[in-house]
Amino acid sequence: MKSEFIKQLVEVLSDLPVIFKQESLQRKMMRLGGYNPNKIDSALYNLNRRGIFEKRKNGLAFTKKGNVWFKKHRLNYFQEQIKLKKWDKRWRIIIFDIPKQLHNRRSYFQKKIKGFGFYALQKSVYVFPYVCEQALGIIAEQYKLNEYIDILFAFDLGTREEEVKKYYGL
């Protein structure tokens, strides 16, 4: 999943030199689509100057520093996408049983999912109303906790549902 996502991003980035020729059709289409090509040029220049990616014979590729930067910032993208979603009437219940020797990772994981807006039902049971599987997978992978975390889907939370709905404004 991770390598496929990065591969797709690199493919898109490798097309950028073609996209950003001054009078290209793609540039005009970007404007029609509501994007400002000059802002994108500026952002790409900035990333290149900071050493996030480098030009290669067949296009652009992330540097080692760029891979670290990308892993850190892709969660921001998912967080923004989650805010745009409409509730599908399904609850995502995240349960985990992380061993005591991994206490620090457990704490970081809990802080991260709370920061995303997950609601704690119990110490190791959280609930979320929107699609979050991909973002949760990235977080679990980041802290190497995949084998200790499960996601359940439910249409009803029982006696706590009204409390949780109120929390999310649903």
Tell me which amino acid residue 9 is.
Answer: L
Q: Tell me the average pLDDT across 38-53.
A: 80
Q: Which two tokens stand for residue 102?
A: 């991994």
Each domain of the chain, given as residue ranges in start order, spans 2-62, 91-168
CB neighbours (10 Å) of residue 7? 9
Confidence (pTM): 0.56
* 103-113 confidence digits (pLDDT tens): 888 888 888 88
Asked if 142 and 116 count as a contact pair (C-beta separation under 8 A), the reply is no
Residue 20 pLDDT exceeds 60: no
Q: When comparing pLDDT for 73 and 166, which is higher?
A: 166
Q: Tell me the average pLDDT across 59-85.
A: 70
Sign of CA dihedral 140, 143, 145, 149: negative
Strand order in the sheet with 91-96: 119-122, 125-128, 91-96, 149-154
Residue 126 pLDDT exceeds 60: yes
Residues 6+ apart with CB under 8 A from 31: 37
- CATH for the 91-168 domain, from 3.40.50.300, 3.30.450.40, 3.30.70.240, 3.30.470.20: 3.30.70.240
Q: What percentage of the chain reaches a pLDDT higher than 70?
A: 71
Residue 19 pLDDT exceeds 50: no
